[in-house]
Each structure stands twice: as C-alpha cells, then as structure tokens.
Amino acid sequence: MLQLQDHRRPPITPQLALRVAVLAGVALAMFGIVFFRLWYLQVLSGDKYLTAANDNRVRDIVVPAPRGDVIDRNGTVLVDNRISIAVQIEPQKLPPPGPRRAGLYRRLGRVIGLSPARVAREVVQQRKVLPYATITVKQDVSPAVRDYVLERQNQFPGVVVQKVFLRHYPHKELGAQLFGTVGEISPKELKLSRFRGVHQGTVVGQGGLEWTYDRWLRGVPGATRVQVDALGRPKGELAIQEPKQGKQLKLSVDFDLERAGQQAMSEAAGIPITNGEQNRGGAFVALDPRNGQVLAMGSYPSFDPNVFAKPLKESTFKKLNSVETGAPLVDRVIDGLYPTGSTMKPITSVAALQSGVITPDTPINDPGSVQIGNIVFHNAGDTGHGTVSLPSALQVSSDVFFYIMGARLNSVPGQPLQKWARRLGLGRPTGIDLPGETDGLVPNPAWRDRLYRRKLTDRPWSIGDNVNFAVGQGDLQATPLQMAVAYSAIANGGRVVTPHIGLRIEDAAGRLLQEVDPPPNRRVKIEEYNRQAILNGLELAAGTPPGTSADVFAGFPYRVMGKTGTAERPGWGDQSWYVAYAPAAGGKGPIVVAVTVEQGGWGASAAAPATRLILSQWFNVSKKLVVGSSHTR
C-alpha cells in the first residue's frame, strides 16, 4: 500500500519567532526614520531648501569701497580716488595647469591685448606676493572688454571683471612719504586685530597716513547680486548695494607750504658739492611750536605713489628702495638718522644753563682751539672769536665755547647733557601719527661701556665723547623731526609737543566726526632768563653779522631765530643742517622749520637757503633763493 509523505512544516520555535519580531521591528524603525526625515525635508524645511536652490542661481559680486579723501588744512584735495575697470583672476578657480589653462590665457590675452606669456607671468608674480588674493591682470579696460568677458563667462573660468576704485595722488611726488601707499591686505595682516572683520582682497593702507588712519579711510564694500545660468553666466542684475566711501581726513598740512618745501629741497639737493657728486637726499619739516601741528613735511628724493595703486613690478619696488636711486621710499624726516652738527648747541645751552655750569653772561675765551685731556679741539678753520658769552657763542657758532661746555657737563653728576637731550625729544620717538619712526641715539657712558665689554668698540666712554656730543658730533643720531620738536620746546617755554599731521576726521560734507589733538608729551622747566638768552643768540645768528646765517636772511622782513649745522658723517660728505624758529608775524602763526641735506656741505650753503624759501612762503614774502657765503658751522 502506497504511503504518502507528510509535508507539514514543523511549528516555529519561540527563539525563531523572537528573531523575526526583532528584525521586523528594526525594519519598521528604519522605515520610520526615512519617512520622518523625508517629511522633515519636504514639509518642515521645504521653504529653506527652496531658497537655497534659488540662491544657486544668483551670485554676489563684491564692489570695493572707495577710500576717504585726504585734504589739507584749507580744503585742497591731496588724495582721492578714480574709477577703473579691472580684469582679475581668482587663482583658486583657474583650470589646472596644462592645455586648458594655456587656452584660457591665450583667449584672455587676445581680449585685453596681452601675450599669454605676460598673463601667466602676472599670475605667477602676484601670487608670490599675495598667494590668496585676486590677481589683477589689467586695469583701465574698456566697457566693451568688460561686456565681452562677462557674456562669455564659460570661456573664461576664474576671470572676473569689475569696477574698482584706484587711489589717486593728484600731486604725484608731493608729500609721497607723508601719505604712504595702499595695497591688498595680506594673509598676515588679516590676523592683526586692527583688521578684524576685513575680507581678503580689501585694499588697506600700507604706509604713512594711509596706514595710520586706515580704519577711517577704509569704506564699507558694496555688492551687486546677479542672476546666472547653470554654467554661471550672468543673466541680469537683481539688486545693487552701493559701497560706502570712507571718512574724509583733514590734515594740518598747508599745501602751498608743502610745495614750497619740496621745491626748496629740490634746489638745495642740486647744489654741487666738493667731490663733484650731487647730494643724495634730505628732508624738511615745519611745525607749529604751540601744538605740534605739522605744517609741511617732506623727504627727498620722492616718488609717485600712484604706481602703488596698480600691481607693482618687483623691479620697480627694488628701484624705489635702492641706495643708487636715493632710496625714495625712506622717510628721512622720521627715519633718517644723522649727527646734527651745531644745531645741537641750543640743546647743550639748555643743559649748561639749567645745571648751573654757566650763566648767560659767563665769559669764555675762544682762541680758536682748546686742549681737553690729550686732544686739541679746533674751531672750523681755526678761527678764534675772542671772549664770548652764550648769546655771542651761538651767534658765531663758537665750537670752543661748546667744547668746554661738553667737558664741564661731563663732570656734573647725573649726565645733564644726556638728560636734557632726552627731555627735549632726542633719542626717543616723538609720537607722530606715522608708522616707522625711529628712536635715534643719545650716547652716554653706560651705552658705550656696554659696547666695549662686548668688544663692539675699541674703548670705553671718555670725556671726548661728551665734548663731541655737545657740538652734535660723535655717536649722536637724530632725525629732523626730533630737532624740530626740541626747538619747539625751547620756543614755547618748555612744552614738548606731540607732532601730528591728522587734524580732523570728517564726513563727506565736511562735518566733524573726531578731532585729532594729542596732548604734549611732557613739560620741562626752562628758566625764562635762560630761554631768552638762547633765543637771543639764535636771533643774532640769523639776523646780525657775523651771525652764521646772517647773509642768508639779509633783508628778510620778519624775525628769524636759527642755527646752522655742519656735521661730519663718516663715509659721506658733510651733512648740512638748519633749524629755525620764527615768531608769529604778518598775520601768520609761529613756525619751526628743520632742514637737512645729505652731503650738502656747510649749513649756510644748502640747508639755510632752503629754510628761507620755506619761511618766505609761510610769511608771503619774496622767495628768491639766497646761497650763504659763511664758512662757519
């Protein structure tokens, strides 16, 4: 009999049932997660992602802001902006090196009139300077070039064309070191607190007033929102947010005086010197001794800062820093260190009088030379001046008189000559509102002895060092601005002013936003009788024969109190100096002028005539150049 097999499955065990239930629960949970995620994206966040999708069809093009104008005290525009259309490359969006990039350079070169090699070279050179910045290939292109590139964006990947504001210095070399330069912010600068919130590609101040007042001069960038297609080609503008120009900076500088100073330096630097070469540079500064306002300031030779408004060639930058060209980028007013020659003598006079070494009437015999220790010190030309007191010693610039002062002050406790030099502003920054100011050097025993212990000099301090210091020689290093501040303190009764160029921060309508008026650095006590004796000697020097600059200022209708200086400078020809104070007259305020000319020879030959030209402009008198014939220092 046939037996049929039993095909019934065995019942599910409890363990298997549990596993099935767990798997079903996991699958249900995963389904639930996917369901609720899709529900969240579609229902709750739909508007958000719809907006994001729409944003993929628009681009924001940053429009750089124009920097604020710079004007002089009378409203004359010194620095402004001009509009340019620039072709730029965003390095991170370029095709990889090879045929595609070469093709891009070839197409772009044809459009802007540059060879592909030139385009490639600009990219390489500018990336060396600012690796992450937008590269400007060409400025001042025509609107037709702009439209052509924008309409064919797919053929020019990484290329942008936009309106930019270029810094414009209408007076070119006039006051170049004063104004400074601008340039795109570097990655290093982006980390500085003063540039917090500034974006890569922003043009910021890189020197001079452009750097000091950058936070006010720098405006707020705008943006142009454009619609693009899937390939990124613009299809039209959607919105424009106009950039906001930076604030206006008003200076204490007088444009006409600045121009006169530049002309005076040009003429002084053109006077041949004994070795047949031309002078290599110089500087001038004019201060209001009452408050430190800089009325004019310039360094020679100068340069045209407009070259920095566009990408600068490395060769051009090297030339501007080269000694062979006179290093035009160096601001000799605040960074030029020189021995001062006899312009130091009024400072020595303050130290000698205030420390009681002499009185204004103390007579000292000047036979033309004096032996101090085992060294004989001579007057210029060994000329003897007989018995002189302080005013007459300043008038004729008696070296012997001040050699003796240096020797006497060396034996007085407390180093009064060094103390007063520093009190009046030498050997320390003046605090002017410019970057890069140097300290200078007031030599003293501790400084030289320290060098001697380190075997950096051949001897320790000696009395001869103080003797040389008293007449502005030896190791003394000072800037023209420091000398102007020191003379201002003598002129105003002891206020050591803080020189400043900025006067006001204004809006576009000229309304005051912030005033620049720093307080004096300090006050020093100079007895009025002593101060008048010094000023009397300086007035005799400039106005009465045989004063060292009496020939230069002959016929000048206003009072001038000035001192010539001729400093020996190792490796160079004699440094020509003149520092003058002229009290208020003819409706104009008081003024202190300091001028120095490298390799200019006698103080009365180059620096003093330049000073007269500057003072002539200030007081509106004849500007005829008078070359001094005096042969005293």
Beta bridge partners of 366: 386
Amino acid identity at 527: E
Based on the fold, state whether residues 445 and 533 are members of the same structural domain: yes
In a 3-state reduction of DSSP, which class is residue 169? coil
pLDDT band with cut points at 50, 70 and 90 for residue 33: confident
Residue 323, pLDDT score: 80
Which residue has better confidence, 255 or 270?
A: 255
Distance, CA of 327 to CA of 493 (rounded, Å): 37
Q: Is there a contact between 582 and 560 (Cβ–Cβ < 8 Å)?
A: yes
Average pLDDT of 440-447?
A: 97
Based on the fold, state whether residues 380 and 516 are members of the same structural domain: yes
Distance, CA of 308 to CA of 207 (rounded, Å): 11
Residue 230, pLDDT score: 55
Based on the fold, state whether residues 261 and 177 are members of the same structural domain: no
pLDDT for residue 628 is more than 50: no
Residue 248, pLDDT score: 97
Give the model confidence (pLDDT) of 139-187 as tens digits: 888 888 888 888 888 889 988 888 888 999 999 999 999 999 998 888 8
Based on the fold, state whether residues 283 and 265 are members of the same structural domain: yes
Give the model confidence (pLDDT) of 46-96 as tens digits: 566 555 555 556 666 667 889 999 999 999 999 999 988 888 888 878 888
Q: Which of 196, 227, 251 is the last residue of a domain?
A: 251
Which residue has better confidence, 109 or 417?
A: 417
Q: Tell me which residue of 434, 478, 431, 442 sits closest to 283, measured CA to CA.
A: 478
The CA-CA-CA angle for residues 582, 577, 345, to 5°, reads: 75
Does residue 580 fall inside a structural domain? yes
Does residue 335 fall inside a structural domain? yes
- Listed in order, strand segments (DSSP E) in 5-54 are none
Does residue 116 fall inside a structural domain? yes
Residue 631, pLDDT score: 46
Give the model confidence (pLDDT) of 289-337 as tens digits: 999 999 999 999 999 999 887 777 777 788 888 887 888 999 999 999 9
Q: Name, in order, each residue with C-beta under 8 angstroms of 455's C-beta and a sequence gap of 6 or more.
A: none
Residue 576, pLDDT score: 96
DSSP string, 494-509: SEE---B-EEEEE-TT
Count the Cβ atoms, other than its own, within 10 Å of residue 118: 15
Average pLDDT of 423-439?
A: 97
Q: Which of 251, 277, 312 is the last residue of a domain?
A: 251
In a 3-state reduction of DSSP, which class is residue 372? strand
Based on the fold, state whether residues 190 and 260 are members of the same structural domain: no
Residue 633, pLDDT score: 57
Which CATH number fits the domain that encloses residue 495?
A: 3.40.710.10
Report the sign of the C-alpha dihedral through residues 260, 263, 265, 268, in that order: negative
Does residue 36 fall inside a structural domain? no
Based on the fold, state whether residues 365 and 281 are members of the same structural domain: yes
Both tokens of residue 388? Answer: 């002189």
pTM: 0.84
Which residue has better confidence, 129 or 28?
A: 28
Does residue 54 fall inside a structural domain? no
pLDDT for residue 43 is more than 80: no
Torsion region of 414: left, alpha or beta (phi above 0 gives left; psi -120 to 50 gives alpha): left
Q: Is there a contact between 482 and 439 (Cβ–Cβ < 8 Å)?
A: no
Query: Of the ranges 442-451, 474-483, 508-517, 526-535, which one carries the lowest mean pLDDT score?
Result: 508-517
- Listed in order, strand segments (DSSP E) in 339-382 are 364-366, 369-372, 375-378
Both tokens of residue 326? Answer: 């006179």
Does residue 33 fall inside a structural domain? no
Both tokens of residue 3? Answer: 């037996």
Mean pLDDT computed over every residue of the chain: 88
Both tokens of residue 1? Answer: 């009999």
Helix ranges restricted to H, 152-232:
176-179, 187-190, 208-212, 214-217
Based on the fold, state whether residues 262 and 246 are members of the same structural domain: no
Give the model confidence (pLDDT) of 389-412 as tens digits: 999 999 999 999 999 999 999 999
Which CATH number fits the domain that encloses residue 189?
A: 3.90.1310.10
Both tokens of residue 258? Answer: 């600045």
Based on the fold, state whether residues 190 and 244 are members of the same structural domain: yes
Based on the fold, state whether residues 262 and 247 are members of the same structural domain: no
Does residue 546 fall inside a structural domain? yes
Based on the fold, state whether residues 212 and 285 are members of the same structural domain: no
Does residue 633 fall inside a structural domain? no
- Please tell me the total count of domains within the chain: 2
Residue 154, pLDDT score: 86
Report the sign of the C-alpha dihedral through residues 352, 358, 361, 367, in that order: negative
Based on the fold, state whether residues 284 and 235 are members of the same structural domain: no
Based on the fold, state whether residues 463 and 536 are members of the same structural domain: yes
Residue 198, pLDDT score: 86
Q: Which of 251, 271, 288 is the last residue of a domain?
A: 251
Torsion (CA) 266, 271, 276, 282 in degrees, nearest 10? -50
Query: Of the ranges 8-17, 215-224, 378-387, 558-567, which one carries the lowest mean pLDDT score?
Result: 8-17
pLDDT band with cut points at 50, 70 and 90 for residue 625: very low
Per the structure, the complete domain to which residue 538 belongs is given by: 255-296+329-619
Distance, CA of 308 to CA of 411 (rounded, Å): 53
